[in-house]
Chains A and B, each alone.
Chain A
């Protein structure tokens, strides 16, 4: 693997930039692998990387139906935070945040992680009580989170409107300073490049059409659009299409897939120094390094695989943004799009073994999977390699819905997050 460095940049500058090559191979599928990951998003590519780097499993393939990073990895609003209420979630998301902090160095690929702070606004006494409860719970779990007065919030984010005569005035905010954003494409590319260098085959345009099981019920092979691929361990990491893939092995999951939309504005000069989100009136906004305002809208109400949603969902979010940031009222929006997110009843993910030996699943990230990418990939690789969960993902089973051990972040946040 070509090592990226300032010296390399300088050398290429003096030699006509002719030394930059493709960063990973376009692999042809082999007849068999030790492990196969289905789904070439950040979570899947990351899992392949950790299988190779931490578990010495290098005869591994990642199968992607279209191109890598083209699903929800390329469609999210890149917000990273770990201020979740419950112990299980805080451990999982903070594991990810700690990996984010060194990911560029570890992968030798700039994922542009920018811990610029994530601010969550409170508009009602109820919001304030819930958010303060989050702040205290986070501190008990070693996750940084501070309560700010409206004036302190405005000092941190000067564009914020803290007038008290608007429909939903800001009465306080929680700030996680370690939170922030990263470059979504770079995460997929960085993991792909590092995994490829360790021998992982990344196979694009390869759709899994069937999961074949042996006489003992265990996974034997995958039928794909590019031929039969044998593997005794298969990890499914296919987000919105997880139900479709898992049905091929006869596994039914507590998932529903909904469109989630986002939009970006024309590029502006730096105006928004942090991420601002409001669960109460549903606004998620940050500014990309290109200067675009990146805005997350809500999910549509109905099951759909169309990767598009209705305009009234975006309108709702933009109305909230315009009230919180009157200075953005005349900014024009450039693009909007949708991704399909797989949502569990408790809004917590499933990273687990399944009832089929050799078949593992990492799904249910709903509207908030990007932030967890490195942590999710890391513990999923552990689960696949050792055939048992890492202590961090041990609570995130499928059986928790049967046994009543829900990790009910849905109730904790009162909104899809």
Chain B
């Protein structure tokens, strides 16, 4: 099914754009000067307070007014990616803040710049902390990719509707769609859990500290 492929593509592109936004933003929000913090905070507030579908409509119908036209597909990636970026930067920010300040202090004491300390010391640790909530964000993005339906992108749900219109079997088709979402979600979550296991470091385990 082509729709499934489009849905998977949308999910990954959205997540990818989200990470690209989230990493510098979370860095800025924790270590940046005041104005950067303010900008990031406003960005996050706004994008997290508007329903995804409204963001999509705003981008799809709004940008042509200033002379920029996006294909529905691109508008979806942009809109959902920016939105996911807001959520992901919250995830990363929390993860960064959970890393003890001694880590950055020690990095700086070796002569690393803030950026180097972030990249070599904070981020690898924060990434491990962020993985479980990030896996959650992943399933949310997967499901939110169905908003693309509203802009006419032929993703999983829309393709299903097309099939229904000829087969007149809505229940069967929607159950099939649900099953496909379920399978994608489970598969990828499993691999993320495996990744978590692979990256786990003795003594650097959230579960262990809770125990």
A and B part of one assembly: no
A-to-B contact residues, CB < 8 Å: none
